[in-house]
Structure 1
Amino acid sequence: MENTVKLKMFILLAGCVFFVFGFSFFGAKAYGAFFTKDTVPEGVTVSGVELSGLSEKEATDKLDAAIKSWYENSFYFLQADKELSLDLTVVKFDVDKTVDLALENKTANISAKIDGAGLNQLLQNEISSETLKALDRKALSKELAAAASELVEGIYSISLDKFYIKEKLPKTILLSTSLPNETFTLENSLTVTIDSKQTFSLHSYIEENKLKTLDEHTLKWLATAIYQTILPTNFVILERHISHVLPSYAELGKEASYIAGKQDFIFFNPNETAYELKLTQDENFLNITLEGINLQKAYSLTMENDKKYKPKKIVQYDPKLPENTTRIEQEGIDGQSITVYRNELDKNGNIANTVLIADDYYAPVHQIEKTALQSIEEVPDLQDPLLPNDSENPDFDQSEDDFNNGMSEYPEQNTNLNQNPNLNQKQVPNQQTPAEKNTVEENELWEEPAFEKGEG
């Protein structure tokens, strides 16, 4: 009996302990839940909007006001081949879901999604059906929703290029050019792929495609063809050289040279998509096309300061040539210079920005002529009326010894006389030997060209 009473007392005491402990623990939980129901916890901010301590209705009203302001002060643009303005009504916000999450302290940005039908309608009106098929619209919608969920007011622009599936993109011809064929031979048509965000090197392309059988002149021809095709694009020219003389097939300002191991041609594709250069040869021309998706902007070229520099004539005397004979050793070629600018155009076709691309200068090639040595003119005899006469000037009469003694005071002149025994030993005023005359003429011919002195 006594044991039964003790057991009952123990059970009663244990129950009281558990009651007190449970009330203190779970009661606090129940109390907090009851008195903080529908109130946002401290420290909760949604898309930059402070919601701490607000009731559900207050939080909803505050978010609605922020969304209204975002619609009024935000502008979204899609960059395709032209700029597309996005109607922001395609952006839908779920305020109730956002507040429910905020009450649980589980969100940082407002819940947003894109109305697919509305977005598709915009894209179908502005983009060709072939191009639209290659657009990853799910990825585009996801990025637009993520941007909108931040509720950042202002201008937001997104390029569609990074949402295109490359394999599905239609190939269109953006640019086409041609070069005279002349005597060059391209064994097969070439396709040059310029990958997105990649650098193209003509030297590497030749190595990879085993085009070493093409001679140097043909490779220069190809370099020029590629260069003049990509000039009116946003491709970045990293390395380019020009020849000493402008080739007959090239247009001034649009030539590129290539010499294996010495001169490469390198450029960079800054776009999000790859492009292809196709080179085909027919009987008269090398034809080049640039194919791919349209560039975001249009470009044009401006050529300025087109100048020419006349060559000089250089005369060289050749004793082996017959008398009164002249032979052209090298034809003269005009020098040329030009400045090339690339213009970035806005949507109205007006120039928005201009960049200097090249300042080309080709020095003139001087004409070289070889001519026979002129015969030495006979020196007038002593009776020449221009010279003093012995009989009229007694003081002029000298013995041979006196004359030689006098000439010894002028060793250079004496040497010249000894080397030319056929000349009369009486001095002739202002008379030049052929060698002296040639020296004067060559000095005049080799004078610094005018354009190098800044006179051109």
Structure 2
Amino acid sequence: MRKSYIILIVFAFLLSSAFAKNTFAGEGLFNNKRFSDHTYIGPFNISNSKTKQAKSKLASDFSELQSMLEVNLIYQDIQFSLPPESIKFDIDMTLANANSGEDNPIFTTVSRGGLKTVLNQELPRIQFPKEAIDSIADGIEKELQTGIMPKNVHITDYIGKNVIPDEAVASSEYSIDGISSALTKAIHTLDNSVVQPFESFSMMELLTSPEIGPLSDEEMTLLSSILYSAVLQTNFQIDERNISTVVSPNFQPGFEAAMNQSLGLDFQFTNPNKTEFTIRAAWSAGAIHLSIEGLPFYYIYEPSMTNIESFKPRTIRQYSSFVHDGQVVVSQEGEEGMEAIVKRKMSVDGQIVETEDISEDFYAPIHRIEIYPLSSGNSSEPHITDSDESDLSQNGETATESGNGSSVRGEMDSGYSHDTHNSNNFENVDKKTNVEWNEGKIIYDKSGLPISGK
């Protein structure tokens, strides 16, 4: 019995000696490993150096990289930093997996506890389970392998669909008793439309598809304006949006998105987020219902009309031999003009963080035109009852003779429209006077009177 025990002790000693010998041999082999030309660890060159030299060099390189470490975590519309102390570089693991003559990754370790603390502080309304924390940490470690700073990491790339459920981030509704079959098809086609990350969405492209059928400009404007009202409740960027020449009775000023097929006027917007959104649309209970669904935003977006100013129409008197004495013919009823300014507030927990200018919509007034009889004491030139007549006589023409001179027409071109692009830019509109400057056209001030002509 004692002899067997001694044999077991001797065998265990020989086995441990052999293991130690092989271990030291492996370490020696590892330390003597030489890296050939074009061997990189991230951006760091360790070519033509042995393992010990490479380790010393990487210790210095990683120390410098740690000092300039900048990792920005992005969730939808918010960005925040991950503290550098939450990230550690593993030199031994990096060198052990490095292949000579190749570009090799940097191995890092992200503290799960540190990451969880940051996420709970910055996104308190979202509960991240352990699996999501591990997945996000793995994603950060993977993206840090290049060693290039700064590094922006979209955490939504590394969390599952069920971690943060989709919800309606915006909604809009328009009451209407009945709609055409073409508009019904358009609503059905718009329903379940997906706006991909960083994708631009065009209403003209969708509404002119063959399966919908012909839609009138009014129907296209209706659907686009409902969608526009919802888009303003998100952080989506407005690429193209237009208004009509006169105030629409169907929409609140500032919230119209006019469409015109012959002029190619479209409504376009872009999703600036890393996640997709789905448009839901339906007509039921005497109303068109529309919503945008996706991962919730951090901020709340609220559009509002901050200022509205009206411009009264003026009365233009014209004289004609076709009008009998004592008679006044109203050839055009007047209509007020309007300017509406829309802004979008971005807030969190009831506190306004930023206010964004969206649009300044201007509708020129339509002037009232009255035609009086032409008598020996009256001039054939039109008369403006409540404005400086010199503006017309010096800068623009409003009356033209026709036929043999027995009839005079003085109608003014009251049509006015502009396109609003990129939230607050006007096409063919002067920023100081908000007047149209297209070559060959009369230029009007905000009251609708001409200030110059060609």
TM-score range, shorter chain: 0.5 to 0.7
Taking the aligned partners of 2:254 and 2:330, their CA distance within structure 1 comes to 30
Q: Which has the larger radius of gyration?
A: 1
1:328 Cα deviation after fit? 4.4
1:134/1:49 Cα in 2 relative to 1: closer, same or farther (>3 Å)? Answer: closer
Taking the aligned partners of 2:31 and 2:128, their CA distance within structure 1 comes to 52
Deviations 1:301-360 (A, max 9, x none): 5757743222122345677878645554433111122454557779974228x5x64443
1:103/1:37 Cα in 2 relative to 1: closer, same or farther (>3 Å)? Answer: farther
Report the counterpart of residue 96 of structure 1 in structure 2. 92
Question: Residue type of the partner of 1:267?
Answer: F
1:156 to 144, 151, 160: 151
Say if 1:78 and 1:158, in contact at 8 Å, map to a contact too.
yes
- Structure with bigger helix share is 1
After superposition, where does 1:408-419 map in structure 2 within 5 Å? none
Taking the aligned partners of 1:288 and 1:368, their CA distance within structure 2 comes to 42
Report the counterpart of residue 399 of structure 1 in structure 2. none
TM-score under structure 2 length normalisation: 0.60
**Residues 223-232 or 81-90, more deviating:** 81-90
Taking the aligned partners of 1:72 and 1:315, their CA distance within structure 2 comes to 78
Question: Residue type of the partner of 1:268?
Answer: T
The question of 1:83 aligning with 2:65 is answered no
Taking the aligned partners of 2:216 and 2:368, their CA distance within structure 1 comes to 28
The question of 1:242 aligning with 2:236 is answered no
Taking the aligned partners of 2:273 and 2:134, their CA distance within structure 1 comes to 20
Report the counterpart of residue 378 of structure 2 in structure 1. 437
1:238 Cα deviation after fit? 3.3
**Partner SS for 2:169:** strand
Taking the aligned partners of 2:157 and 2:346, their CA distance within structure 1 comes to 21
Say if 2:35 and 2:50, in contact at 8 Å, map to a contact too.
no
Say if 1:91 and 1:148, in contact at 8 Å, map to a contact too.
no
1:294 to 286, 296, 306: 296
1:121/1:184 Cα in 2 relative to 1: closer, same or farther (>3 Å)? Answer: same
Taking the aligned partners of 2:134 and 2:262, their CA distance within structure 1 comes to 47
Question: Residue type of the partner of 2:375?
Answer: P
**Partner SS for 1:289:** strand
Question: Residue type of the partner of 1:212?
Answer: G
Report the counterpart of residue 112 of structure 1 in structure 2. 108
1:267/1:160 Cα in 2 relative to 1: closer, same or farther (>3 Å)? Answer: same
1:177 Cα deviation after fit? 3.0
1:40 Cα deviation after fit? 4.8
1:437/1:88 Cα in 2 relative to 1: closer, same or farther (>3 Å)? Answer: same
Question: Residue type of the partner of 1:439?
Answer: S
1:329/1:214 Cα in 2 relative to 1: closer, same or farther (>3 Å)? Answer: same
Taking the aligned partners of 1:36 and 1:306, their CA distance within structure 2 comes to 77
1:300 Cα deviation after fit? 5.3
Taking the aligned partners of 1:248 and 1:438, their CA distance within structure 2 comes to 38
**Partner SS for 2:273:** coil
Say if 1:109 and 1:149, in contact at 8 Å, map to a contact too.
yes
Question: Residue type of the partner of 1:160?
Answer: I
2:169 to 166, 169, 174: 174
After superposition, where does 1:40-439 map in structure 2 within 5 Å? 40-41=34-35, 46-47=41-42, 59-60=54-55, 63-64=58-59, 66-67=61-62, 70-71=65-66, 73-81=68-76, 82-86=78-82, 91-100=87-96, 108-114=104-110, 126=123, 138=135, 140-151=136-147, 155-163=150-158, 170-179=165-174, 181=176, 187=184, 190=188, 191=191, 193-196=193-196, 197-208=198-209, 210-212=211-213, 214-262=215-263, 263-281=265-283, 286-295=288-297, 299=301, 301=303, 306-315=308-317, 324-326=326-328, 328-340=330-342, 349-351=352-354, 354=356, 357-369=358-370, 373=373, 434-437=375-378, 439=380
The question of 1:38 aligning with 2:67 is answered no
Say if 1:134 and 1:165, in contact at 8 Å, map to a contact too.
no
Question: Residue type of the partner of 2:195?
Answer: D
1:364 Cα deviation after fit? 0.9
1:102/1:206 Cα in 2 relative to 1: closer, same or farther (>3 Å)? Answer: closer
Taking the aligned partners of 2:379 and 2:132, their CA distance within structure 1 comes to 78
1:79 Cα deviation after fit? 1.0
The number of residues matched between the two structures is 358
The unaligned stretches of length 5 or more in structure 1 are: 1-33, 374-432
The unaligned stretches of length 5 or more in structure 2 are: 1-27, 393-443
User: What RMSD, in angstroms, separates the aligned Cα atoms of the two structures?
Assistant: 4.8
**Partner SS for 2:208:** helix
Taking the aligned partners of 2:179 and 2:314, their CA distance within structure 1 comes to 32
TM-score under structure 1 length normalisation: 0.60
**Partner SS for 1:336:** strand
Report the counterpart of residue 436 of structure 2 in structure 1. none
Say if 1:123 and 1:132, in contact at 8 Å, map to a contact too.
no
Say if 2:319 and 2:380, in contact at 8 Å, map to a contact too.
no
Identity of aligned residues (%): 20
1:206 Cα deviation after fit? 1.9
Say if 1:179 and 1:286, in contact at 8 Å, map to a contact too.
yes
Taking the aligned partners of 1:36 and 1:151, their CA distance within structure 2 comes to 24
**Partner SS for 2:380:** helix
Report the counterpart of residue 404 of structure 2 in structure 1. none
Say if 1:40 and 1:51, in contact at 8 Å, map to a contact too.
no
- Structure with bigger strand share is 2
Say if 2:314 and 2:384, in contact at 8 Å, map to a contact too.
no
1:193/1:163 Cα in 2 relative to 1: closer, same or farther (>3 Å)? Answer: farther
Say if 2:315 and 2:384, in contact at 8 Å, map to a contact too.
no
**Partner SS for 1:208:** coil
